[in-house]
Structure 1
Amino acid sequence: MEGKVSILHVDDERSMRDLTETFLERNEQFTVETVPSAEEGLERIEAHPPDCVVSDYDMTKLDGLEFLEAVREQHPNLPFILFTGKGSEEVASDAIAAGVTDYLQKSGGSEHYELLANRIHNAVQARREAKRADKQERFTSQALDTLEDVFYVLNEDGSFRRWNNRLSEITGYPSQELAEMHATGLFPENEHNKVHDAIETALTSGEVTEKIDLLTADGDRRPHEFRGTRLTDGDGEPTGIVWIGRDLTDRRQQERRFRALVEESKDIISVIDSSGRFQYQSPSVKHILGYDPDETVGNMAWDYIHPDDRDRVIEQVEEQVANPDSESRTIEYRARHADGSWRWMEANGNNQLDNPAVEGHIITSRDTTERKDRQQELKKYKTIVQSLTDAVYVVDNNGRFTYVNDEFVELVGYDRETIVGNTPSLIKDENAVDRANRQLGRLLSTDGPNTISFEVTIHPRTGDPFVCEDHMGVLPYDDEEFEGSVGVLRDITEQKEYEQTIEAENERLAEFTGIVSHDLQTPLGVVETRLELAQQECESDHLHKARDALDRSQTLIDDLLILAQEGSQVVEFERVELTHVSKQCWESVETDQTTLQVEDVPVINADRSRIKRLFENLYSNAVNHGGSDVTVRVGTMDDGFYVADTGSGIPESEQEAVFEAGYSTNEEGTGFGLRIVEEVADAHGWELSVTESKQGGARFEMSGVETIE
């Protein structure tokens, strides 16, 4: 339902006013004003009429029925719901007799207030739809009343049955005189025989057209073209004649006026004569069906309808024409587009015999192809949903389940008959329902997301409550009206356990790195200081070897800390130009006479600091194992990049072992360099492999890399 709904709630008991207001304002569409008496309620309505009135019955001074009667005197169509704690058949009967919109007795429980909200929604929706229908009807009537043609309906004997105001305006005869006249009285005496012949022809052949001067009460003659069409009963027997008279001098002006009313319409407005041919088509037929409106005039309307729909449409239109007093009917059919395709249309037809500018049947058609396509898509989605392993539900715009799949039934433990038609409060507590409603409000906001995920506690029919992840979205809109929401419930129990495990591992990792980075640093610092003092006092090879061992220990600690830190997944990515980073890292490595060659490598999404460590460690590995004259090349692959060297390479039997922590063929190496490279690749979600380069050296490949350029 479009727009806010203003509600005036009248109740002389404050606690009930506050409680009702609280429940109603949970609906974001509702705005509620409360007053303690019917007298104040009448003042509020007089100043600012609400969309709906909700009133108690048993109140002092004016009770609910008296209040209703007073409202109906000034506002006969204002939705009025009697919401009373005192109920009886007599009260209900009196309320209905006084024109109450709905009657609802108070009772405990939130479901009753949900029912009240639903009744309010339905009442206001019905009122708004009625207003729109009345507005459309007034528009149609006013549009047709602006046309200057005259029409009247004759009985078989030529007496008047009904006529339009235009006939009285042109002829000067008041309605009372027309009611007592014969049709010949409207024409000059020398035209009476022609009139009698035209009536007889229309009754026998079904249709006649004559040009006859119309005689006014003042004796003036006005040239008109009259067209008579026979009216028949259900058995095909004639019951009268419809006559439409058009002033030939004003014909073109009248057509322009009619077309001006419809040429801006987004719907197709067509006029079809009794033979089924187009007399007129509005300009919208061009952009909807691709036809030039003028080129369709004179063509059979039925030829544009799909053969499978044609007979049904003709039957419904003919039935409407034969019953001019019946209500308009909606007809669905497929219409042929100018390009040969078929478009679904929805048409409303009215027998427009009281329209002086229309000599036939007016049909308003709307393109509903997109809506039909959505319906077909929904059918396919339903089939897909049936095959899902997650629990799926659909809730309508009244907040009630309309569909659940088998997994949902199994998850909550209730049978489908109990779930469908019930509200989510069946499986959720009040807080969970409120939270879901707030999330739905975010989805419906103009700047809200398309889908929302949030945790919710489910209370099954049996067993303990459990936590699920609710993935919610709204159903496709039809005519911009909210149809409901769809959701998927997924047990994340395992996810919670995984998160707890990861959290515990992180805590242990933090404890470990703390020990390594702090507790070990203190004794190592003491050793370093003692060595410096010892070297100042004496010179010994043992002290130099101790210094080397201390430096190696520090290097091991540094690499170990880096290795521990690289194990976590990358959370924040940024734009990294590999060409620039690879060259920058080369400058930080002691490369002697070695050479770097960089191809046109891509720009990627990555953690810049970790990418630097990856290149630095791969460069160091190439220099340490490839010699002082090694050449290192950085290049591009289809889904990533590589770093290759011209060194001695890695035997195939050792290509997996090189990534193990502590593995090194260099006595001075820590064995953590390539392990760190592997951790950086894993943290980015890449796949790392090692093979032989074209020059016989080692080639390290990173695949599955997300590139930007």
Structure 2
Amino acid sequence: MRDGEQTITVVHVDDDTEAAEAAATRLEQMDDRFTVRIASSASEGRQLLTEHTVDCIVSAHELPDETGIDFLKAVRAERPDLPFVLYTGAGSEQVAAAAVSADATAYLRRDDDQFAALAERITEAVERRRAARDAERADRRSTRPRERAVRDSVLRAQQEAVIDGILIVDETGEIVTYNDRFVEMWDIADEIVEKGDHDAALERAMDLVADPEQFYEEIQRLYDNPSETSRTEVELTDGRVFERYTAPVTGDDGTHYGRLWTYRNITERKQRERELERYERILQSIDDIAFVLDEDQIVEYVNETLERQFDIPTDQVIGQSIEALSLEYVAEHEDPEKFQAAIDRVYDADPDADDSDRSERIELAVEFPDGQYVFEYHLSPMIEDAETTAVVVVMRDVTARRRRERELRETKEQLDTVVRNAPIVLFALDDEGVFTLSEGKGLERLGLEPGEVVGMSVFDLYADQPGIIEAVETALEGERTRYVQTVDGLYFDTVYQPIIEADGTVSGVIGVAMDITEQREYEQQLERQNQQLDEFASVVSHDLRNPLNVAAGRLDLAREECDSDHLEHVERAHERMERLIDDLLTLARQGEPTTEFVTVHLSEVVTSCWETVETADAELRVEADRTIRADENRLKQLFENLIRNAVEHGRDDVTVTVGAIQDGFYVEDDGPGIPADEREEVFAAGYSTTDEGTGFGLRIVEQIVDAHGWDITVTDGAEGGARFEITGITETVD
């Protein structure tokens, strides 16, 4: 604040405290004379009026306890001369009319970024009020009406600003007073104004204005309406723009003594406004985020893209320093000082340098509320009078582009690895079937080198392969096709993809051939084994079970004829053979992947299985309160075999516990356990450490686990027994 200047205390009433604080911060930054106190309601505003000396009220229209218009009327009733600016985001023509009717000092829309205009209106109104009060005090010291009126007009002119040109003309049309600034602005000869020749001064002014006829008509209209006050803009032929304010000079009794004219050169402001409007039109039309920093690196404008695409309100950004925004939004792994350094270089750049030398580009990751983004920043200075007065920052979202570039690099690396190592052949044909590309490790199996067949016709090279010829012709007709072809005893699963141009024509074919010879041979071997397995199952289920049934019948007849301990041993042998047959059949059929998934509750399945297995004095503990998706019948076989394994290899009173783990469940006993060096063998067919076991139970368990796509491991139980953990179960509900 300069020496002799008075502070301006403003009460800002708005229930949107964030918006009020932003406006207060901006006003105090723009002019250090301002002190802004915030109230969230009209009643709080009245309280501040009683507690402080207030120079101006700035109020929103929508308040929690009454409207801004009602608040204005209440203030006018008590303080009729206190400046009151209605500054609202919920405005309309009706609200504006009501404000004027209620004698509002000014009406401004908040969403028009009117901080500069708001500051100007507050300053004008406060200084006008102070000048009027000074005039009243001086009036008490003067008794001459004309002198009082002239002095009052001069004081009103002074409150407009010392940079204004001032002219006062009396009721007869004679110039009463003027200042040097007026003469300088209009380039009027001293003798004209010294003589009081208003007509000559007007004629000189008409030589300078862009529309002299309209200028003259407006001057005459105002003289014909002596009580009217007016504020307008005047354009000159040399490009300058003056803001003209005029008001009548009247005495206390209403006597008309003439007219006051003030002129303020607003050329630079208009140029800046026009430039900002041009920038704004451009910036609002783009999809990039764009904002403007003032000479203090404060955000004074941001386009709608920020709020539209990223849901960050513009009023949270406007009025903030770029340094504060960098610290808030720049991602943790980035260096905010790198961005600040780029900003500083733009402000410090030589104004006479080329645009490319004054501008900066930088890429940074930022953290927005909905995630992390990567932006490319373009920083450009705005030059006025060989000085950088503002910087335009354009932020282009390159997140998707950088992600695609990274994915393309990764894909290329993966593709190169595949081409170098996988048994595939990549090839391309032109529209006549001539090879233009031939690459891939699969060429080695064919005895070919990369690119060896380029330039050859597929129709000539594989004339004896009608399947290949048909597949190529189909692709050249625009249809994607797939064909398993045999070349020199090798099998290739080949996809033919047509290359279709924008006009719909087929310009060639891209193909990928995968060497599936080993797979095909394995499938054929597996087919033979399955055939043998089916035959084996048939023998087991029919040829072995029939003699066993005959033996069981004979055993019953033998028991009727005699009573011998040997018969008990025969019966146990029959039962063991029956279990062997059942386990063999189960083993033969469990390898197929399961598809009949249902939702099952582990505790219910385990309890049911416990009741079907001979468990002697064993105890079951179920600690798995979990629901999973599984083939219920196979899951029961899994639990029955694990329970039977625990009972057969443990004590008669063994305790079996079934519990839940992160991605599955476990079955644990407190028996003797399984030695660490035997754990890899326990799932082998035929492995058993008891005479009663078949050696197939745990093998069946492993096959059931594999059929579900799960995993099983053996480890020590909590009390030294065996613990089987089944994991990899993704569909679980606790």
TM-score between both structures, scaled by the size of structure 1: 0.44
TM-score between both structures, scaled by the size of structure 2: 0.43
Computing the radius of gyration over CA atoms, which structure comes out larger, 1 or 2? 2
Higher relative contact order structure (alpha carbons within 8 Å, sequence separation ≥ 6)? 1
